[in-house]
Amino acid sequence: MPELPEVETVRRVLAQELSGRRITSLVVRRPTFYRPPPPSSLHGLIGKTVTTFSRRGKFLSLVAGARSLVLHLGMSGRLVLTNRPAGNRTIKHCRFEIGFEGKTLRFFDTRRFGRVGGPLPKFGPEPTAKDLTPDYLRTTLKGRTASIKALLMDQGVIAGLGNIYATEALFRSGIHPSRPAGKIKPLELEKLRNAILFVIKEGIRLRGSTLNDEAFLDPYGNPGAFQKHVAIYGRKEGACGHTLSKTKRPIASRSAVYCPSCQK
């Protein structure tokens, strides 16, 4: 699933390419909606000029004056920019199209976990925000028995973190992913906060992670490069030189990779 750096990469491309363009058409093919908005709320965007694209966590919002449209990529969703007009033909896995003056934005979603429309959910602070402090982590995680990795991926705790960047941050801070969050010491939380800031900023600088053929690409089909710099995610041997292990039990429905020497 695209995480904050991938979604931020998409946002920057779309904001640069589409801000100031007028929306000329909307083509609904087979999208999945958070709450099915009435057609009038969607078609009310036609004729509006895009102000910008904003991001909160892993969610994008097309902003056109007082109106906005929330987009979520889900597991395999992609937003693709093309010069071809919207609605001229059926395209496999294309769920939604927005036509602009000179551009079309297409929403492809093979697995149909992506979403169009609806309100934004409740989020914790952004990983790069000033309010993600060691004090915030200490207060939020105090007394929590859930594993630290599960809570890092909880969007109500921190917005935008997922499996890749949580795995990397925990390795860099030397914290085992299965440790109860409430048992982590203040100094460790400070290291963790710094590690989160580092991996997220690096992920944004390197324009996200592209791990396989179905993975993230930006709206012009360009891959990210963070996967070339990961310390343990997707590797058998960590950057530390030790053989990596997986937790016996899944965390947040996924196996968790860690270094048994660095993350005890």
Please give the positions annotated as active site.
Answer: 2-3, 58, 254
What are residue 27's DSSP bridge partners? 97
Cβ neighbourhood burial of 35 (10 Å; 0-12, 13-18, 19+): exposed
Are 139 and 189 spatial neighbours (Cβ–Cβ below 8 Å)?
A: no
Cα–Cα distance measured from residue 264 to residue 170, given in angstroms and rounded to the nearest whole number: 11
Cα–Cα distance measured from residue 188 to residue 138, given in angstroms and rounded to the nearest whole number: 10
Neighbours of 24 (CB within 10 A): 16
Cα–Cα distance measured from residue 16 to residue 81, given in angstroms and rounded to the nearest whole number: 12
In the chain, the amino acid numbered 13 is V
Query: DSSP code of 181?
Result: G
Tell which residue, 250, 254, 209, has the closest CA to residue 231. Answer: 209
Cβ neighbourhood burial of 85 (10 Å; 0-12, 13-18, 19+): middle
Cβ neighbourhood burial of 198 (10 Å; 0-12, 13-18, 19+): middle
